[in-house]
């Protein structure tokens, strides 16, 4: 039999999806449902003078207009409690909710929401991070000092418009710069990127006997539970969250969106309330990838060793802190990244601005932090006249690399193997040689999210296995391929006989959400823990049925057999059936979270992500051609070498690599949200927000390396998030090579390419 782990099996959720039967969050609706729409601020900064809902309340179908007066007076947030449900005195970003209208139909709710008149006195706008950290900048939050951190967090350095600051300052940085032969200094900038999942955000709230139920299509149901309960001032267990099929999230559906509003409005009206964002509303209010400014300086020795580094990052938090309080930790892990650097100084700040709060998008700030790091690495190689790949190999990590947090990476020497592996796909010297062509290379060290998860296995008398887990299947296949195949392998079953569940926070144990490539690694491992107990029970029961000792038995083709005796076998269904009246149904549970990792808490201040768990290693290479007339860029070849520990589903892994690279190409070349001086987004629809289409994306060539890790199921580490991380870096380096000019911004526009072409070769 084909082993369940390491082979490609059909996704069980593909058929309902191709038939149009799958019920997504936007499709879910139960009897008696009312519909709601939010009234949102049309300015980025101002003081609310009045809210007039008389006309709206009189419109057909309208049941309720709710404002801050109808909501608990609570500020809440992911890590910092700085955000109200509805603005009542000041508005801090365009799109901030001010009121909500509930009506019989969605069309009525939206029409009435548009008829609510909000009078706002404009206030000065902090539009950019540069504005936010300028001397005398207006404060986005006058009361920042009074804000409490969310439960379970130590406070961290924050001041004025800086809602989070992380600092690492190793001994001897200035001395190392003074002793360096060459110093190179660069500045890079990145725009925001919209996740642009195809299913807009939605939620349905219900209120029954003092408890809220929220129907969601979301990445992290336990986060909705916590965040909704905190916003509404109830216990987490007073909120039940039930998951449905979801049309993509990519990080944007990790924090709450419409869920607390739908829940509140259900309580206020006594009916289920459903909300769906319109696309433009979704885009303008989405917690997109933050833009940032990165200033990086390195000292080099003549022979091409990096001897000193300074890495300064300002990230745009938007109007509320959200995820960025965590994301300021990422520069600490990227500042040296794949290379040994000598004494290093890092300062990362998240800055409040009067813009939509930013948040997580696959690869988070790593995408632009690596763009800056690897563009800079090219400049370092050029400064000492070395080949860019050779320079990297000269400085690449060895085993036992100590990160800036004091954590030691046992396996960091793998990076060198990954560099060699990508070269086997196409030798570096052969690429980018044609006219107007260039080649780029970049490496990445990325993590596997450590948050815990759990699974309960149920063996059924019909011979099937149900994996009851709160892990969310967001489309990657992490649950329906990864977790399911691991469960099948553990019980010697055909994956076709294994099913997985949808999240329901009343039913399953905590799950840390579909983020940071954690699901296959963490929940897969929880399944292997659960399987230990299940096998024990199965063998005991089967031993009775077969008249053999448990230690003579083995799992075989969805059954249990006596080792070395092909004739003596019972099916797992028979075992489960017999157990039913001999001890009860066969179930077994397991939990897992990455064990605590050793690090030195004195190395950094403000570091909320204190360690970098279960690292993975990546090298990407791209060959591009630029059009000297239009500045257009064609990606001719794209190569990926990725260390995954162990592949569970080859097809699932390839889907994540191809899809992640496509998102990275969009980020590198086309997708942008620009922000005007008024704090408003310039791109407001999918027409102006240019997403990659089929014609843009080459077939990615992949080599997978497998060095199993003890902690992962079958050795698997995280794999799905990182394929996006180095893409902008690689493309930037390839375009710089093709044009000979500096490439310093994401996205790299045709104008940037044409400007770069005006530079003389060698000044890049």
Partner 1 sequence: MNLSLTVNGAAVTVEADGADTLLMVLRDRLRLTGTKEGCTEGECGACTVLVDGVPVDSCILAAHSAAGSEVQTVEGLADRGGALSPIQQAFIDNFSVQCGFCTPGFLMTLTALIAEDPTPEEEWVKAAVSGNLCRCTGYTTIVDAVMAATGQEVAR
Tokens of 25: 């969050």
24/473 Cα distance (integer angstroms): 12
**Residue (of 602, 188, 522) closest to 365 by Cα position:** 188
State yes or no: is 721 an active-site residue. Answer: yes
Among 1, 19, 629, 761, binds partner 1 (CB under 8 A): 19
Closer of 437 and 658 to partner 1 (Cβ)? 658
200 binding partner 1? (CB under 8 A): yes
DSSP characters over 49-85: EEEE-HHHHTSTTEEEEEEGGGS----B-SSB--B-S
> Which 280-299 residues touch partner 1, going by CB under 8 A?
280
Among 1, 18, 145, 171, binds partner 1 (CB under 8 A): 18
Q: How far from each other are the two terminal CA atoms of the chain, in whole angstroms?
A: 55
Provide, rounded to whole angstroms, the least separation between the CB of residue 233 and partner 1. Answer: 34
Closer of 52 and 278 to partner 1 (Cβ)? 278
Closer of 263 and 661 to partner 1 (Cβ)? 661
- The SS3 of residue 725 is coil
> Which 377-416 residues touch ligand FES, going by CB under 6 A?
none
13 binding partner 1? (CB under 8 A): yes
Closer of 23 and 30 to partner 1 (Cβ)? 23
8 binding partner 1? (CB under 8 A): yes
By CB under 8 A, which span of 78-86, 207-215, 541-549, 695-703 interacts with partner 1? Answer: 695-703
Among 21, 155, 175, 536, binds partner 1 (CB under 8 A): 21
HEC string of 180-194 equals: CCEEEEEEEEECEEC
> Which 233-272 residues touch ligand FES, going by CB under 6 A?
248
Given a contact cutoff of 8 angstroms between Cβ atoms, the answer to whether 380 and 345 are in contact is no
Among 248, 406, 740, 750, binds partner 1 (CB under 8 A): 248
Among 36, 196, 308, 439, binds partner 1 (CB under 8 A): 196
- The count of residues interacting with partner 1 (CB under 8 A) is 55
**Residue (of 609, 641, 631) closest to 726 by Cα position:** 641
Among 18, 145, 171, 198, binds ligand FES (CB under 6 A): 198
Given a contact cutoff of 8 angstroms between Cβ atoms, the answer to whether 419 and 389 are in contact is yes
Provide, rounded to whole angstroms, the least separation between the CB of residue 240 and partner 1. Answer: 24
523/454 Cα distance (integer angstroms): 6
> Which 467-506 residues touch ligand FES, going by CB under 6 A?
475
27 binding partner 1? (CB under 8 A): yes
275/504 Cα distance (integer angstroms): 20
Phi/psi at 318 (nearest 5 deg)?
75, -160
Tokens of 102: 């509930």
Cβ neighbourhood burial of 400 (10 Å; 0-12, 13-18, 19+): exposed
Given a contact cutoff of 8 angstroms between Cβ atoms, the answer to whether 201 and 195 are in contact is no
CA atoms within 13 A on the CB side of 399: 4
Q: Which one of ligand FES, partner 1, none interacts with residue 713, CB within 5 to 8 A by kind?
A: none
654 binding partner 1? (CB under 8 A): yes
662 binding partner 1? (CB under 8 A): yes
**Annotated catalytic residue within 96, 259, 281, 721:** 721
Q: Which one of partner 1, ligand FES, none interacts with residue 280, CB within 5 to 8 A by kind?
A: partner 1
170/186 Cα distance (integer angstroms): 21
- The count of residues interacting with ligand FES (CB under 6 A) is 3
97-103 and 34-40 strand pairing: antiparallel
Q: By CB under 8 A, name the binding residues for partner 1.
A: 8, 10-11, 13-15, 17-24, 26-27, 195-200, 245-248, 250, 278-280, 474-477, 651-652, 654-655, 658-663, 685-687, 691-695, 697, 699-700
**Active-site annotation, residues:** 721
Q: By CB under 6 A, name the binding residues for ligand FES.
A: 198, 248, 475
């Amino acid at each position: 039999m084909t082993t369940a782990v390491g082979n490609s099996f059909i996704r069980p959720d593909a058929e309902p999806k191709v038939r149009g039967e799958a019920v997504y969050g936007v499709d879910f609706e139960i009897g008696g449902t009312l519909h709601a729409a939010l009234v949102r601020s049309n300015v980025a900064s101002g003081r609310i003078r009045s809210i007039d809902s008389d006309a709206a309340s009189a419109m057909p179908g309208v049941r309720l207009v709710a404002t801050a007066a109808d909501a608990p007076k609570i500020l809440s947030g992911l890590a910092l409690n700085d955000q109200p449900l509805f603005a009542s005195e000041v508005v801090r970003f365009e799109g901030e909710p001010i009121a909500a209208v509930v009506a019989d139909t969605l069309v009525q709710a939206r029409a009435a929401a548009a008829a609510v008149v909000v009078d706002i006195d404009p206030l000065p706008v902090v539009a950019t991070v540069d504005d936010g950290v300028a001397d005398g900048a207006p404060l986005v939050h006058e009361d920042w000092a009074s804000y409490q951190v969310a439960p379970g967090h130590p406070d961290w350095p924050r001041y004025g418009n800086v809602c989070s600051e992380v600092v690492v300052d190793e001994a001897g940085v200035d001395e190392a710069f003074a002793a360096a032969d060459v110093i190179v200094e660069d500045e890079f900038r990145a725009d925001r990127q919209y996740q642009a999942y195809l299913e807009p955000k939605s939620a349905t709230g219900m209120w029954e006997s003092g408890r809220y139920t929220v129907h969601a299509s979301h990445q992290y149901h336990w986060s909705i539970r916590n965040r909704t309960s905190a916003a509404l001032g109830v216990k987490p267990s007073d909120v039940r969250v039930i998951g449905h099929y979801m049309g993509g999230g990519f990080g944007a559906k990790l924090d709450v969106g419409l869920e607390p509003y739908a829940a509140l409005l259900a309580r206020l009206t006594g009916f289920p309330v459903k909300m769906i964002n319109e696309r433009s509303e979704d885009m303008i209010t989405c917690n997109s990838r933050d833009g940032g400014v990165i200033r990086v300086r390195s000292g080099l020795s003549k022979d091409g060793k990096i001897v000193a580094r300074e890495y300064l990052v300002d990230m745009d938090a938007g109007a509320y802190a959200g995820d960025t309080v965590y994301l300021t930790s990422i520069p600490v892990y990227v500042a040296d990244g794949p290379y040994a650097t000598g004494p290093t100084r890092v300062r990362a700040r998240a800055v409040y601005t009067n813009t939509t709060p930013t948040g997580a998008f696959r690869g988070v700030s790593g995408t632009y932090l690596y763009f800056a790091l690897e563009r800079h690495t090219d400049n370092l190689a050029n400064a000492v006249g070395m080949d860019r790949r050779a320079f990297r190999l000269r400085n690449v990590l060895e085993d036992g690399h100590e990160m800036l947090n004091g954590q030691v990476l046992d396996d960091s020497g793998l990076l060198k193997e990954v560099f060699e592996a990508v070269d086997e796909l196409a030798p570096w010297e052969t690429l980018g040689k044609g006219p107007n062509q260039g080649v780029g290379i970049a490496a990445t060290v990325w993590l596997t999210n450590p948050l815990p998860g759990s699974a309960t296995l149920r063996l059924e008398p019909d011979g099937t296995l149900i994996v009851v887990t709160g892990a969310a299947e967001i489309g990657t296949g992490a649950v329906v391929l990864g977790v399911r195949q691991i469960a099948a392998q553990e019980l010697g079953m055909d994956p076709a006989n294994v099913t997985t569940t949808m999240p329901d926070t009343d039913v399953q144990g905590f799950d840390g959400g579909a983020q940071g490539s954690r699901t296959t690694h963490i929940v897969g491992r929880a399944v292997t823990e659960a399987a230990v107990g299940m096998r024990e029970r199965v063998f005991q029961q089967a031993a009775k049925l077969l008249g053999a000792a448990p230690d003579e038995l083995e799992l075989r083709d969805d059954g249990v057999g006596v080792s070395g005796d092909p004739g003596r076998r019972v099916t797992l269904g028979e075992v489960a059936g017999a157990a039913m009246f001999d001890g009860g149904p066969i179930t077994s549970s397991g939990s897992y979270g990455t064990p605590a990792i050793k690090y030195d808490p004195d190395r950094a201040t403000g570091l909320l992500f204190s360690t970098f768990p279960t690292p993975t290693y990546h090298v990407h290479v791209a060959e591009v051609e630029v059009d000297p007339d239009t500045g257009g860029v064609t990606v001719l070849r794209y190569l990926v070498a990725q260390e995954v520990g162990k592949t569970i589903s080859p097809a699932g892994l390839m889907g994540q690599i191809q899809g992640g690279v496509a998102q990275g190409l969009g980020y590198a070349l086309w997708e942008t949200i620009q922000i005007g001086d008024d704090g408003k987004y310039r791109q407001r629809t999918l027409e102006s927000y240019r997403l990659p289409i089929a014609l843009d994306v080459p077939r990615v060539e992949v080599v997978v390396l497998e060095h199993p890790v003890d902690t992962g199921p079958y050795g698997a580490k995280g794999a799905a998030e990182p394929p996006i991380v180095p893409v902008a870096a690689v493309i930037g380096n390839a375009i710089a090579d093709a044009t000979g000019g500096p490439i310093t911004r994401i996205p790299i526009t045709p104008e940037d390419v044409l400007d770069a072409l005006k530079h003389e070769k060698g000044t890049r």
